[in-house]
Chain A
Amino acid sequence: GIQVEQSPPDLILQEGANSTLRCNFSDSVNNLQWFHQNPWGQLINLFYIPSGTKQNGRLSATTVATERYSLLYISSSQTTDSGVYFCAVEARDYKLSFGAGTTVTVRA
């Protein structure tokens, strides 16, 4: 199956800082999603982004499908951004494969 690697595994930020999370994948994919898992365990959809760039408030994402990577940008981080960020890619059989996640801690 497709291998999905996320980096860094852990990230500690001071409130107000910017950061970039990366997702690399090993094969061509139909689609890619970014999720935020909050401290209560809920998975929240951030972006559905097979290619190109999207922005939603302080978050933005870019996927370069031909080079098999995606980036998630967090600007002006807030404590509510803490949690685990997952990248998931959809193979040609429509199954989602997840990376191991990036744990983000934002300190006040």
Chain B
Amino acid sequence: NAGVTQTPKFQVLKTGQSMTLQCAQDMNHEYMSWYRQDPGMGLRLIHYSVGAGITDQGEVPNGYNVSRSTTEDFPLRLLSAAPSQTSVYFCASSLGLQGDTEAFFGQGTRLTVV
């Protein structure tokens, strides 16, 4: 039982490049979400999903896309990277509407856009 797994752990992109941050969970959780953490701040919600095929925007969705084709995977796509997207990204999952909503986080992806 690996929990929530994020890849890669570190990434450097050039402005304008695109990439996908991967997130997978093996706990059969319905609810998955992506957050970004900037220095001196708490985590802010980018996008979330309450189940396969269902996604919605969070607090800071601009510049990011998500999809949820399976229960296990919730990738985050940066369409055209900008320096303002330099941040640490966390993926989280929880049982969601099934009951216990305790959230579990991946180890994070540190992204630098130059």
Contacts and interface: CB of A to CB of B under 8 A. Distances in A.
Interface of A: 1, 4, 30-31, 33, 35, 41-43, 45, 48, 86, 88, 90, 94-101
A100 B58 contact: no
Contacts of A98: 35, 42-44
Interface residues of B, number: 27
A31 B101 contact: yes
Interface of B: 31, 33, 35, 40-45, 48, 50, 58-59, 88, 90, 92, 96-97, 100-105, 107-108, 110
14 contacts: A31-B101, A43-B90, A43-B105, A43-B108, A45-B103, A45-B104, A48-B100, A48-B102, A86-B42, A94-B96, A94-B101, A95-B48, A96-B92, A98-B42
A101 B42 contact: yes
Contacts of A97: 45
Contacts of B31: 94
B102 A45 contact: yes
A94 B40 CA distance: 24
Contact of A1 (B33, B59, B97, B105): B59
* Residue with the highest number of chain B CB atoms closer than 10 Å, among A86, A94, A97, A100: A94
A33 B102 contact: yes
